[in-house]
Amino acid sequence: MNSPRTVALVGPPNVGKSTLFNHLTGLRQKTANYPGVTVEYRRGKLRKTEVEIIDLPGIWDLSPASEDERIAVSVLTGDIAGLRKPDAVIVVLDATQLLRQLPFAQQIVALKLPTLIVINMADLLDRRQGHLDPLALAERLHAPVALVSANNGRSLEAVYRFVDRKSTQANLLPVLRPTSSSKEITGWSDRGRLTTEGVYRRPLPAHWSRRIDSIALHPVFGPLAFLIVVMLVFQFIFRVGAPLSDATTRAFEWVGTYLHSVIPAGFLRSLMVDGVWAGVGSVLAFLPQILCLFLVIAILEDSGYMARAAVISDRTMRRAGLDGRSFLPLLSAYACAVPAIMATRVIPNRRDRLATILIAPFMTCAARLPLYTMVITSFVPDRHIVGDLLGLRATIMIGLYVIGLIVALITAKLLRSSILDAGGKLPFVIELPEYRWPSPKSVLTYLFNRGKIFVVQVGTIIVVLSMIVWLLANLPIHHGQAADIGHSYLAWIGRAIEPLLRPLGLNPKVGIALLTAFVARESIVSTLGTLYGTEAVGHALRLDIGFAGAMALLVFFAVAMQCTSTLATVRRETGTWKWPILQFAYMNTLAYGLAALTFHLVR
């Protein structure tokens, strides 16, 4: 039986490759790892077919500097064990930066694989009065060329035809098929000839992008604008996400009440309603706020602002002994530390990469958000500080993110001045794409995929942990009856760790929840929901630990290493247990000390 046809999607960064991938695959896509390595890639199936499309990391040429780029090149050349060489390649270039990116397309064509050159952002080329003759360019490149706009789906029919070809021979798109010609592009002089011969007319400069950058990249106004964006993000999470979370909570409570009425009294009802449903509902209730965070990240990325944020942060990163390349992995750690650690493969300097790996878990990931929002909404009043722009709750939330960032930068500085002393520094170079309106389809696809990953992966863990916590809270059985929680196995564990909790102002129930969080951070809220049963967790915490204990809990949770998946990823990326053990000991010791200090200062 023949294997499904595989097409690789490749191109420089910021050319709209992911937008094209989303158009071709829709929701038929998933994230996987290359065989034998931890570099992530996206793959999906062309709509209504079994053709598989692989979305490779962005690269500039076939002489890679980073591990991420090396893996992408190895896929194209068929050097990845367990992953066959692609049957064809689609090269995506930016129509507004064509002359600079053409050499990369020539390198791909030289691999002798059936290749389609997709010149994206045709809408920007037209808007800025540029011009391209695809047939004339195809004649010079000896490969078919399609001029498209992935943002609005313009002229993608040629791409669909190329991907869905049944044959892997060089019978390419008839309408774009190049003729035999000696007019090859071999150097800058030949590329310049494209303009003199009317094949390509450069677009006019993007004046409005330059005007925005005069503020966004200004040494003073740029960082201020960045801070305003951050404040608006967290205000959006609370103003929009919080009411949606409240509605989700009420929906889960209604379903829980219904299940309680239809399931006969006994062991099964207690397990399903008080254990599984209470645990899962307490976490998924915060899904709207997590999706709000992912929504903002997708919009900022698609609009082109994220690249500017990397430039702005480069100065701060260098003070910590890093450079701007560390910004994007650290930024992605605000979603999840695991892919962020994998993303450090784009950093060519080994010491910079290792330092970034070790500090990435300090960034406040989405898994911390459920506890943050629950504690903040329960203990902090909803007051305005700067009108509707900034509230007290958003300020506390920003403060927790800032704590993680400051501790991360200080740790990076200590690492780079001691065990990871600075070596040679490579200059930080990044292409700034033109500002553009985010594609609603790309943003919604990103949102759907992230939400699905959270619900499927996290939900599975939460169900298992909720059942374990419920069993520990109801065992051992005495005379056919479940144990009182004060005499359960869970109570025994709580009493064993209670001496460690007193300096933080926490009780055994919170301590047990913190222990389950080492499997998955999100589980702390579900564990508290299981332990407190139908009682409102926020109200119960106000009675049990008070404001000082709540602030200590937040600080501990902001700094501690509580994710076994992250530790396993650090082990795979560094190739040794030395670094994850050091990371675990350092982060948790620091978290405990800062939490104890917070409790005694606030009390």
* pLDDT tens digits, 6-50: 899 999 888 888 888 888 887 655 555 444 444 556 778 887 778
Rounded Cα–Cα distance for residues 361 and 330 (Å) = 9
Query: Is residue 77 in some structural domain?
Result: yes
**Residue whose tokens read 């909570």:** 249
**Would you say 556 and 517 are in contact if contact means Cβ atoms under 8 Å apart?**
no
What is the pLDDT at residue 37? Answer: 44
Three-class DSSP category at 564? helix
Please give the Cα distance from 363 to 338 (Å, whole number): 11
Helices and strands, number each (H, E), in the chain: 28, 11
Instruction: Tell me: pLDDT of 76 over 90.
Output: no
- The answer for 507, left when phi > 0, alpha when psi is -120 to 50, beta otherwise, is beta
Rounded Cα–Cα distance for residues 487 and 479 (Å): 14
Nearest to 345 by CA among 364, 363, 332: 332
Angle, CA of 260, 264 and 269, to the nearest 5°: 55
* Predicted confidence band of residue 459 (pLDDT cuts 50, 70, 90): low
Residue 269, pLDDT > 70, answer yes
Note the pLDDT tens digit of each residue in 321-359.
776 778 777 877 777 777 678 767 667 677 888 888 999
Q: Is the pLDDT of residue 167 over 50?
A: no
Nearest-angstrom CA–CA distance, 438 and 436: 6
Residue 240 lies in a domain: no
Quick check: is 442 in a domain? no
Question: What is the extent of the structural domain holding 75?
Answer: 6-204
Long-range contacts of 509-516 (CB under 8 A, 24+ apart): 509/544, 510/541, 510/544, 510/545, 510/549, 510/553, 512/469, 514/556, 514/557, 514/562, 516/465, 516/468, 516/469
Q: Is the pLDDT of residue 368 over 70?
A: yes
Least confident of 39-43, 55-59, 309-313: 39-43
Q: Is residue 24 part of a domain?
A: yes
R_g over Cα of the chain: 27
Cβ atoms 538, 246 nearer than 8 A: no
Kindly state whether residue 163 falls inside one of the protein's structural domains.
yes
Beta carbons within 8 Å of 240's beta carbon, 6+ residues apart: 292
Say if pTM beats, i.e. exceeds, 0.75.
Answer: no
Instruction: Tell me the per-residue pLDDT of 494-548, one tens digit each, with 9 for 90 and over.
Output: 788 888 888 999 988 888 888 877 766 777 887 787 777 645 777 788 888 889 9
6 beta partners: 52
Give the separation between CA 44 and CA 25, rounded to whole angstroms. 6
Q: What is the DSSP string of 440-461?
A: HHHHHHHHHHHHHHIIIIIHHH
- Over residues 124-161, the pLDDT tens digits come to 888 888 989 998 888 888 889 999 988 777 788 888 88
- Rounded distance, CA 395 to CA 227, Å? 12
pLDDT at residue 369, as a whole number: 83
- Helix/strand/coil (H, E, C) string of 484-551? CHHHCHHHHHHHHHHHHHHHHCCCHHHHHHHHHCCCCCCHHHHHHHHHHCCCCHHHHHHHHCHHHHHH
Pairwise CA distance, residues 103 & 328, whole Å: 26
What CATH code is carried by the domain that includes residue 144? 3.40.50.300
Angle of helix 440-453 relative to helix 287-303, nearest 10 degrees? 140
Question: Is 195 a domain residue?
Answer: yes
- Residue 176: pLDDT band by 50, 70, 90 thresholds? very low
Whether residue 159 is contained in a domain is answered as: yes
CA distance 355 to 351: 6
Q: Which residues contact 571 (CB under 8 A, 6 or more apart)?
A: 577, 579, 580
State yes or no: pLDDT of 116 exceeds 90. yes
Phi, psi values for residue 514, rounded to 5° = -65, -35
Is 118 inside a domain boundary? yes
Q: Can you tell me the distance from the alpha carbon of 230 to that of 397, in angstroms, rounded to the nearest whole number?
A: 11
Identify the band that residue 448 occupies on the pLDDT scale cut at 50, 70 and 90: confident
CB 10 within 8 A of CB 59: yes
Dist CA 90 CA 31 (whole Å): 19
Stated as kind and residue range, the H or E segment containing 42 is: strand 40-45
As for how many domains the chain has, the answer is 1
The bridge status of strand 88-94 relative to strand 6-10 is parallel
Q: What is the DSSP letter of 150?
A: T
HSE of 233, CA atoms in CB hemisphere, 13 A: 20
Helix (H) or strand (E) holding 145: strand 145-147
Q: State whether residue 78 is helix, strand or coil.
A: coil
pLDDT for the residue numbered 587 = 94
CA 14 to chain CA mean position, Å: 16
Tokens representing 127 are 């808007």
Measured CA angle at 148 (ends 111, 297), to 5 deg: 95
Highest mean pLDDT pick, 235-239, 263-267, 329-333, 497-501: 497-501
Which residue pairs, CB below 8 angstroms and at least 24 apart, start in 310-316?
Answer: 310/430, 311/217, 311/430, 311/432, 312/216, 312/217, 312/222, 312/223, 312/226, 314/428, 316/409
Mean pLDDT (whole number) for 43-66: 81
Residue 1: its pLDDT value, please? 46
